[in-house]
Amino acid sequence: MVKSRIAAVDVGNDALKGTFGKLEGKFYIPNIIAPDLEDRPVIGIEELDKKDVLDNIHIRVHSPALEENGVIYRVGNLATKSPNSRELDPGSSKSEEDQTLIMLFASLALDAVTSDAFKAKGDVIDANYTLGTGLPLREVKEGKDVGYRSQLLGSVHQVEFLVTPKYQGMKVNIKFDEVKVYPEGFAAYVNLVMDNDLKVINKELLDKQILIQDIGGLSTDVAVIRNRNVDDDKAQGFNLGVSESLEEIREEIRSRHGVELDSRRDVVDIITRKNDRHHIMVKGSRTNVHDITDHILLELAKKEYRYLRNVWSKNSQSEICYFVGGGSAVLKDYIKALNNKLDGFNIEFFEDEQESIWMMANAYYKLITQFALNTTQDSKAKVAETAATKEQ
């Protein structure tokens, strides 16, 4: 029997963040795919096997869960170089998109070939996973987590590496022993109150009523936490994220400066990088685009602030709101400025942008590890009980 490996995967609208095993495996892959040919040309001086795997993910995916089965894709950084690359569209549901599954399967297959967790038989690896993942609060409230989970369980999903460094010709058969789909707002709460050893930290938050505003690429969730659980009736999900604004910035840069950025990821980099923030190169000259990014992001921040004000007015006994997610890192300065000028709510951002970006994946890891631990303990208890009964 193949041993089940822990996988905690946040398929974010901007990028996939995945943690595997005992935290020894970790991947960050831009959520971009592009349909491709089987024998893609490799351009560059280096041989294929000397190139970075994460920059050259080229796969064929077979799965009964996919609407388009057996299609070949470039994934992540490699897809950004393709003219027909796809990013998730505003208004789409994460649980119903092939792209979500393709990203998930790609990350698991990469973990299977790069770790020592599974033995290969020739060019084939059979990989079993216990998966913790999540969906926006809105989709969970609509019951879409049930269908998403059932798509993954009970089937074998195969990823075949094509023109990919080191792993060309390898096939990974992915099977799930268990899949837990968590609402993203609750996951953020878990990350705030539990460390990687599953011990409670920030005890003062346990019995407080708190808000968590998770700003993603395509959606915003505002979770109301009371009595250590998400209040389903009060929690709200909105079809608004940073993706549309990033596209707007990308389009305005193209029309005003004639510069074509490959993806939204490039726009995020321009906005958040430490050096030369809000600058691009135009015909070899360093050019400031702060006027473009500023007015578009400020308008988005105003909308996000209205959500905060609306939810807080209906939950007036809330003590603090934590802003999480990749979108929060982009809008942090704008929301702080608005709050200082307007209501002065007690709000908190994570100064470490990486902590905010990885928060969901870290939370899923804690939750699925706790679940696996409890399952193992229950199994041992049943074995002991059966043995005791036989002895009698």
Q: Which amino acid is at 370?
A: Q
Instruction: Annotate 355-369 with b (16+ C-beta within 10 A) or e (fewer).
Output: ebbbbbbbbbbbbbb
The total number of residues written for the chain in this structure: 392
DSSP-derived pairing of the beta strands 320-324 and 210-215:
parallel
* Furthest C-alpha separation in the chain: 85
Q: Which amino acid is at 28?
A: Y
Query: Chain-centre distance of CA 272, in angstroms?
Result: 18
Q: Give residue 46's pLDDT.
A: 67
Instruction: Annotate 208-217 with b (16+ C-beta within 10 A) or e (fewer).
Output: ebbbbbbbbb
Compute the half-sphere exposure of residue 120: CA atoms within 13 Å on the CB side of its CA. Answer: 15
The model's pTM is 0.87
Helices 243-257 and 264-272 cross at an angle (nearest 10°) of 90
The beta-carbon contacts of 19-25 under 8 Å, at least 24 apart in sequence, are 19/361, 19/362, 19/364, 19/365, 20/111, 20/115, 20/117, 21/111, 21/115, 21/117, 23/196, 23/365, 24/115, 25/111, 25/114, 25/115
Helices 264-272 and 326-341 cross at an angle (nearest 10°) of 50
Neighbours of 151 (CB within 10 A): 18
281: β partners: 286
Q: Residue 241 — φ and ψ, nearest 5°?
A: -140, -165
- Cβ within 8 Å of residue 160, ≥6 positions away: 59, 60, 61, 62, 170, 171, 172
Q: Give residue 108's pLDDT.
A: 98
The tens-digit pLDDT sequence of the chain (392 residues) is: 568 999 999 998 889 999 999 988 899 999 999 999 888 877 665 688 889 999 999 999 999 999 999 999 999 999 988 888 998 887 788 999 999 999 999 999 999 999 999 999 999 999 999 999 999 888 888 899 999 999 999 899 999 999 999 999 999 999 999 999 998 877 778 888 888 777 888 888 888 899 999 898 888 889 899 888 888 788 788 888 898 999 999 999 999 999 999 888 889 889 988 888 999 999 999 999 999 999 999 999 999 999 999 999 999 999 999 998 888 888 999 999 999 999 999 999 977 778 878 888 999 999 999 999 888 776 666 666 665 666 66
Q: Which residue has the tokens 């059966």?
A: 386
Q: Residue 53 — φ and ψ, nearest 5°?
A: -60, -45
- Domain 4-183, architecture per CATH: 2-Layer Sandwich (3.30)
Helices 326-341 and 290-314 cross at an angle (nearest 10°) of 80
DSSP-derived pairing of the beta strands 229-230 and 220-226:
antiparallel
